[in-house]
Amino acid sequence: MPLRVAVDATPLLDVRTGVGVFTDALLRGLATRDDVEVTAFPVSLSGRRRMRDVTPPGVRVRTPPLPARALHARWRRRSTPRIDLLVGRPDVVHGPNFVVPPARAARVATVHDLTTLRHPELCHADTLRFPDIVRRAAAEGAWIHTVSEAVRDEVVAELGIDAERVVAVPNGFDPPVGDAATGRRLAGVERYVLAVGTVEPRKDLPSLVAAVDRLAVEHPDLVLVHAGGDGWQVERLDEALAAMGHPDRVRRLGHVPHDQLGHLYAGARVFAYPSVYEGFGIPVLEAMSCDVPVVTTAVPALQEVAGDAAGIVPVGDVDALAGAIASAWTDETWRSQAIERGRLRCERYSWEACVDGIVDIYRAAAAGSGRPRVRT
């Protein structure tokens, strides 16, 4: 008999950032399996009518009236209302975005990162509540899935959850498909350093801008191209751009549709990802799969994903970032080694393997191996 799984698919209703991509890939993978019967539901009154339109084929959809703000506030304090009867009496309920609704069924919550604890200054007020929600779910018996070993270690250390009930299953990724000539045309320049991501403090684009400015004289053909819309604290990036001695070396494209990003990756000479903190790092793998050398930061999850295939620099170190970009730009020996190693890194990550690992968590949770121990 198939395992009945209900997944909170609310992330599908938003712009497809990392959590939305994960949720979509998970549902698509589950829908192809004979041993799982999957149902998607939204915790959103306004999004109920769109749920069927954004859910992958083969996934059942239930749309009970679930007001997100009111329920999230209640679930921080109480284990009601339970979701089971509203979504078809599942064996397992999965919350792929930190919050897993109360249920009599087994429960799994995915934790993508602990930005809320490591860098609370980079978070919105609503997300600062996630650690308490995860702790409460774990105390009630939920299993915790993390997207990297680095985040697993943080969850065990920072949230005090029994390590046996916190399981790392890495994300997969979809290798972009693109044409280098089209990418250069979109970028408006023949040779460029590519940065991808919404403008927000965690991505530390101001440091990247400063690094590119320092390279401008020695490398007159080096241009930074950024693909990503405005998020929050955009003024920090604006200030960095205004302070440049060579402002013509940065081109901002704004939001670029996902089917166009592959072209930009393919045309790039270097990919720079100077993040302050990450739970995984899909863009690093996307760049490597396009044979683009990568420069990123010494964040545990990024080091885990990139391994020896990238130039790694300390967070916020503009001089080191500039130096690593310069090497990736000019050192042909290093470039060829990074490209080859990047291909090997990419072979380790697939959505199929990710879904297989998560189904293993579902089965362990449904089997009921006791309550996790939470230190207080």
> Exposed, middle or buried by CB within 10 Å (0-12, 13-18, 19+), for 72?
middle
pLDDT score of 289 more than 60: yes
Cα distance between residue 159 and residue 370, in whole Å: 19
Q: Which residues are CB-neighbours of 191 under 8 A, at least 6 positions away?
A: 221, 222, 223, 269
DSSP H or E segment with residue 30? helix 18-31
Two domains, one topology: 3-172+351-367 and 180-346? yes
- Ramachandran assignment for 36, one of left (phi > 0), alpha (psi -120 to 50 degrees), beta (any other): beta
Residue 370 has pLDDT above 90, yes or no: no
Query: Which 3-state string (H, E, C) describes 270-328?
Result: EEEECCCCCCCCHHHHHHHHCCCCEEEECCHHHHHHHCCCEEEECCCCHHHHHHHHHHH
pLDDT of residue 125: 67
Residue 248: pLDDT over 60: yes
Query: Does the structure show a pLDDT above 50 at 375?
Result: no
Q: Judge whether residue 342 has pLDDT over 70.
A: yes
Q: Give 174's DSSP letter.
A: -
* 3-class secondary structure, 162: coil
Phi then psi for 339, rounded to 5 degrees? -65, -45
Is the pLDDT confidence value at 373 over 50?
no
The torsion angle over the Cα atoms of residues 304, 308, 314 and 320, rounded to 10 degrees, is -160
pLDDT grade, residue 376 (50/70/90)? very low
pLDDT at 119: 78
We find that the CATH architecture of domain 180-346 is 3-Layer(aba) Sandwich (3.40)
Tell me how far apart the alpha carbons of residues 105 and 313 are, in angstroms, rounded to a whole number.
Answer: 45
Query: What is the mean pLDDT of the segment spanning 153-168?
Result: 94
Residue 313 confidence (pLDDT): 98
Residue with tokens 């020695």: 218
Query: What pLDDT shows up at residue 116?
Result: 83
Q: What is the DSSP string of 51-114?
A: HHHHSPTT-EE------HHHHHHHHTT---S-SGGGTT--SEEEETTS-----SSEEEEEE---
* pTM for the whole structure: 0.92
Q: What is the pLDDT averaged over residues 104-123? A: 88
Answer yes or no: is pLDDT of 30 > 60. yes
% pLDDT > 90, the chain: 82
Among 314, 275, 129, which Cα is nearest to 196's? 275
Compute the mean pLDDT over every residue in the chain, rounded to the nearest whole number: 93
Residues in the chain, total: 376
Tell me phi and psi for residue 314, to 5 degrees: -65, 150
Tell me if 194 sits within 8 A of 268, measured CB to CB: yes
DSSP 374: B
What pLDDT is attached to residue 127? 72
Tell me what pLDDT residue 180 has: 98
Sheet holding 143-146, edge to edge: 60-61, 36-41, 3-8, 92-95, 106-111, 143-146, 166-168
Percent of the chain with pLDDT over 70: 96
DSSP state of 43: S
CB-based contacts of 111, cutoff 8 Å, min separation 6: 98, 134, 144, 145, 146, 147, 151, 155, 279
- What pLDDT does residue 374 have? 38
Class for the domain spanning 3-172+351-367? alpha beta
Average pLDDT rounded to a whole number, residues 333-360:
97
Q: Do the Cβ atoms of 174 and 258 come closer than 8 Å? A: no
In this structure, of 204-208, 244-248, 366-370, the range with the lowest mean pLDDT score is 366-370
Task: Write down the pLDDT at residue 148.
Answer: 98
pLDDT tens digits, residue range 172-225? 999 999 999 999 999 999 999 999 999 999 999 999 999 999 999 999 999 999
| Gyration radius from the chain CA atoms | 21
Mean pLDDT of 50-72: 93
Domain boundaries, the chain: 3-172+351-367, 180-346
Which long-range contacts link 136-139 to residues 24+ away (Cβ below 8 Å)?
136/75, 136/76, 137/95, 137/99, 137/100, 137/107, 137/109, 138/109, 138/162, 138/165, 138/372, 138/374, 139/371, 139/372, 139/374
